[in-house]
Amino acid sequence: MVGPSHIHGRGVFAARRIRRGTRIVEYKGERISNREADRRYDDTTMKRHHTFLFNLDKKTVVDGAISAGGGDASYINHSCDPNCEAIIRAKRIYIHAKRTIEPGEELAYDYQYERTGKNDDKLEKFYFCKCGALNCRGSIMKPATKKLRRPSGSRSSRATSRSKRRPVMTRS
């Protein structure tokens, strides 16, 4: 059930007890390209980041806005200590319970917006987090990893950059 959230705007709340591992809902919406997603949601003109975009794969983004055919899953908020996780199977996005969720509890998953290494400090402030979890990292971006020193002569891998940070779940 969708209702007012202490995390952000509106959120989704459990109407009944949901057991760990249960598939709760599918994240639905219009399937669009990265270019179209960038056109629809221009972070440079937003005062605060707010989209319903979810990367399905390298070429496809799901726009979960109600106007694009999205459903209640679009209102599931981010938390640094989530009770849910997004799992991609057969080109579909499902939200599953990571633990047992009690009636009335808000559903949340970790958005983990991708990092490119460019302006990450500035972007962490733009993509700030208000989840209130004890372990809140202050940003909805993927946790920063410590850079390892590479031995001389080794090659570094090159990350692909995206103009937008959107949830990219690789767990299955």
Ranges of each domain in the chain? 2-111
User: Quick one: residue 24, left, alpha or beta (phi over 0 = left, psi -120 to 50 = alpha)?
Assistant: alpha
Q: Does domain 2-111 have CATH number 1.10.10.10?
A: no
pLDDT in tens, the chain (172 residues): 999 999 988 999 999 999 999 999 999 999 999 999 888 877 666 665 567 889 899 999 999 988 888 899 999 999 999 999 999 999 999 999 999 999 999 999 999 888 777 777 888 888 889 899 999 999 988 887 755 444 444 333 333 333 344 454 433 3
Are residues 56 and 25 in contact, defined by beta-carbon separation less than 8 angstroms?
A: no
Q: Can you tell me the distance from the alpha carbon of 45 to that of 42, in angstroms, rounded to the nearest whole number?
A: 6
Q: Can you tell me the distance from the alpha carbon of 15 to that of 19, in angstroms, rounded to the nearest whole number?
A: 12
